[in-house]
Amino acid sequence: MSPEISTQIRHGALIITFVALSALLLYTATYSHGRLSSASFSSSFFPSDLNHSSAPDSTAELEQILNKASMVNKTVILTTLNDAWASPGSILDLFLKSFKLGDGTHKLLNHLVIVALDQKACNRCQIVHKHCYALVTEDVDFQHEALFMTPNYLKMMWTRIDFLRTVLELGYTFVFSDGDIVWFRDPFPRFFPDADFQIACDHFLGRPEDMNNSPNGGFNYVKSNNRTIAFYKFWYCSRETYPGLHDQNVLNRIKFDPFISNIGLKIRFLDTANFGGLCEPSRDLNLVCTMHVNCCIGMERKLADLKIMLQDWRAFMSLPSDLKNQSIISWRVPRNCRYTFSDNFVFSNKS
């Protein structure tokens, strides 16, 4: 065989090998769309199938809004609302009011981005706040109150998870807060400086690193890095592994997955003494940063107990310093929300 023919054969073999490897990688990426495990992880193989995050114009607008609201370290505060929660006299008004009544929280409104899930909510946001973003998902109407565990509720929760992944990919660290959380103190001094993902609890067992703590997805502090981006993609894709569950219950399953340790994600759970809720209230008003109307179903019940919380806080703040330290005032809630922790929570397990 002549040297020229031998060279041509070798070149041909290299081309065939390259094509075969490319086909294999394409197949793996496609397969990963539906079946995700810690063993097959590659960050480029996670899809996002929600239409809002794929539009370049929408992403550019989001980045512009985040930049305007950002602190010097590219950190923002985010909440999501629909028309039912944003209408006058509803959840949004009490949420914003708490920042104005809180101790050192008024300045944080400059860094709050309200993410509106429908056009009416966006219109209302633009009247009462300066940083608003319209997150519209095709073929889904988020305008009305989404009752717990209904299909629209689940879609709304998973839309939120995918949106937060987009924020992380844009390089922004965030505090996410549900709208039915009132802010009484600046939470940043209470966060762990070395954790990637920090989350509030329905029930706190006493140790922030204990994975058996019961997380509540309504409040978390997440740093933007490769670990958290991979985690949010994994969390979002895990909705297919656990169909019919909302994001919080899925988190309770995947927090034990080897994937978490494989990517080196550092999770910490926030003490309910500082970040409480109706499931487990923050009893000492000298320590409380936020209070969540969790373990409560129905907007009217939430509104009633939120108003009582704000009244209790005002009464506490009006006390002389020596009486504040005695903690003689505590919450009068739950009053309209009579759910207990066990009524509204499925305990975590490793199955």
Q: pLDDT tier at 246 (50, 70, 90 boundaries)? A: confident
Instruction: Report the amino acid identity of residue 282.
Output: S
Instruction: Characterise 139 by phi-psi region: left (phi > 0), alpha (psi -120 to 50), beta (else).
Output: left
Q: What is the pLDDT of residue 11?
A: 52
- As a whole number, mean pLDDT of residues 240-254 equals 93
What the block records as the tokens of 63 is 């980045």
Q: pLDDT tier at 244 (50, 70, 90 boundaries)? A: confident
Q: Residue 54 domain-assigned?
A: yes
Residue pair 114/135 in contact (Cβ under 8 Å)? The answer is no
**Least confident residue range of 202-211, 231-240, 315-324:** 315-324
Residue pair 246/149 in contact (Cβ under 8 Å)? The answer is yes
Predicted model pTM? 0.81
Q: What is the pLDDT of residue 152?
A: 65
Q: pLDDT tier at 258 (50, 70, 90 boundaries)? A: very high
169 against 45, higher pLDDT: 169
Distances (CA, A) of 98 to 179, 266, 285: 11, 30, 14
| pLDDT tens-digit readout, 105-115 | 999 999 999 99
Q: Residue 206 domain-assigned?
A: yes
Q: What is the pLDDT of residue 1?
A: 53
Q: State how far the Cα of 14 lies from the Cα of 278, in Å rounded to an integer.
A: 65
Residue 310, pLDDT > 50, answer: yes
Residue 157, pLDDT > 90, answer: no
| pLDDT tens-digit readout, 20-67 | 444 443 333 333 333 344 433 433 334 444 334 445 678 999 999 999
Number of domains the chain contains? 1
Q: What is the pLDDT of residue 329?
A: 80
| pLDDT tens-digit readout, 179-214 | 999 999 999 999 999 999 999 999 999 999 999 999
Distances (CA, A) of 124 to 58, 117, 301: 20, 12, 22
Q: What is the pLDDT of residue 138?
A: 62
Q: Residue 77 domain-assigned?
A: yes
49 against 318, higher pLDDT: 318
Q: What is the pLDDT of residue 259?
A: 97
Going by C-alpha positions, the residue among 119, 235, 127, 128 that lies closest to residue 176 is 235
What range defines the domain where residue 185 resides? 50-277
Q: Residue 91 domain-assigned?
A: yes
Q: Residue 273 domain-assigned?
A: yes
Q: What is the pLDDT of residue 51?
A: 39
Q: What is the pLDDT of residue 143?
A: 46
Q: State how far the Cα of 201 lies from the Cα of 220, in Å rounded to an integer.
A: 10
- As a whole number, mean pLDDT of residues 116-138 equals 91
Residue 126: HSE in the Cβ half-sphere, 13 Å Cα cutoff: 9
Residue 16, pLDDT > 50, answer: no
Residue 132, domain CATH:
3.90.550.10
Q: pLDDT tier at 155 (50, 70, 90 boundaries)? A: confident
Residue pair 253/242 in contact (Cβ under 8 Å)? The answer is yes
Percent share of the chain, pLDDT over 90 = 66
Q: What is the pLDDT of residue 326?
A: 82
Q: State how far the Cα of 189 lies from the Cα of 187, in Å rounded to an integer.
A: 6
Distances (CA, A) of 168 to 87, 119, 130, 138, 161: 29, 24, 22, 22, 11
134 against 152, higher pLDDT: 134
Averaged confidence pLDDT in the chain: 82
Q: State how far the Cα of 38 lies from the Cα of 348, in Å rounded to an integer.
A: 20
Contacts of residue 105, defined as CB under 8 A and 6 or more positions apart, other chains included, come to 98, 99, 183, 184, 185, 186
269 against 324, higher pLDDT: 269
Q: Residue 61 domain-assigned?
A: yes
Peptide bond into 281 cis (omega under 30): no
Q: pLDDT tier at 328 (50, 70, 90 boundaries)? A: confident
At 238 the three-state DSSP class reads coil
Q: Residue 134 domain-assigned?
A: yes
Residue 250, pLDDT > 50, answer: yes
Residue pair 282/276 in contact (Cβ under 8 Å)? The answer is yes
